[in-house]
Amino acid sequence: MKKPIRIGFIGLNPNAQWASKAHIPALKLLKDDFAVTGVANTSYESAQTSAQTFGIPFAFENAEALIASEHIDLVVITVKVPYHFKLVKAALQAGKHVYCEHPLGNGLAETVELAELAASKNVVAVTGLQMTVSPEVRYMKQLINDGYLGDVLSTTLIGSGGNWRDETVSANYYLYDKENGATMLTIPLGHTLAGLTKVLGDVDDFSSYFINHFKTVILKDNGEIKPKTADDQIMMAGTLKSGAAISVHYRAGMSRGTNLLWEINGTKGDLQITGGIGHGQLTLLTLKGANGLEKELRILTPPEELYAGLPADSVVGNVARIYAQIASDIQNNTRNAPSFDDGVKLYKLIDAIEKSAER
């Protein structure tokens, strides 16, 4: 009988959004493969609270103790982006498998260094690019490979970031300072571009343009006004390596219209994905298509096998699908889950978009 992979969480709080609402429910679906055995937070008291809430055997005084523990096989890092580099590096140097949420590093240089270190350690090193494993995205790629569109001519992506306008709460203010590496470009657009390039291949030649309409942001919980340096309008246009045209526009806040629209147009058909917010990694995706003599788009439901026996839910289901790939990679010494190298490839595109806008 195989032993479950023992997980240690760095950044698991009952009151936080992502780890408690996505990772913990996902892991409950994979009890044969994983056991959450440890947690470390910003304080020992917080770790003890999380351990008691989630029934975790070990609460560690700090992240270093968790990483060094013989009770941990896989370190899962779900803290804010500026802390990723130090924690991931320490876990890799300790020879542990790592699952770190995207963005892997704060900037391209950190991301490359972590990927190079991971490659030297013969461990499974995964970054959380959840959109790439979604059934809708995988089915879209399958349809294109099967000739549903004919030759791809163009793709258009429009999305709303949800944040990055002129108001927020104190806990989220770090998103509005671009130095923290957690911007509309790196998070919602970055995640969605990971899905887009998974389907259509790499971006080739393009130009980008950024606008920052709101120079300050008000913190609604205390009324404080803070500077805002993260851009709230991101545009790019160019070509894919396939020769198809690409255009992208991401805007801050939410629209009264469509908040995620991704279309692919070909010589024989059209495909469209829509969602409730521009975070392609966490919104419920609706896939539609039409080809041949069809005059209107119709809903296309991915085949059951693409769900891998896991929920259609875009948050828990997709996180669970990554964990299932991690389990297989660790057990079989394969590398099928979204890797640190995938994180580098995506961040090279993010970096190029940013540099193009600076010219």
Nearest 5°: the CA angle 197, 9, 103 is: 25
pLDDT at 1: 62
Instruction: Name the token pair of 41.
Output: 């937070």
Q: Which two tokens stand for residue 177?
A: 């300072």
- In this prediction, residue 239 carries a pLDDT of 98
- Given this model, what pLDDT does residue 233 score? 98
Which residues lie closer than 8 Å to 243 by C-beta, 6 or more apart?
Answer: none
Q: How, if at all, do strands 233-240 and 97-101 pair?
A: unpaired
Q: Which one, of 329, 357, 358, 351, lies nearest residue 126 by Cα?
A: 329
Q: What average pLDDT does the segment 292-320 reach?
A: 96
- Name the residue with tokens 């300790």: 94
User: For residue 169, is pLDDT > 80?
Assistant: yes
In which region does residue 201 sit, left (phi positive, over 0), alpha (psi from -120 to 50) or beta (all else)?
Answer: left
Q: What is the C-alpha separation between 181 and 63, in angstroms, rounded?
A: 21
- Nearest to residue 340, comparing CAs of 191, 129, 68? 129
The model's pLDDT over 79-91, given as tens digits with 9 standing for 90+, comes to 999 999 999 999 9
pLDDT band at 2 (very low <50, low <70, confident <90, very high): confident
The answer to whether residues 186 and 129 touch, using CB atoms and an 8 Å cutoff, is: no
Entry pTM: 0.96
Hey, what domains does the chain have and what are their CATH numbers?
5-130+316-340 (3.40.50.720), 132-311 (3.30.360.10)
Query: What is the rounded CA–CA span in Å between residue 5 and residue 37?
Result: 9
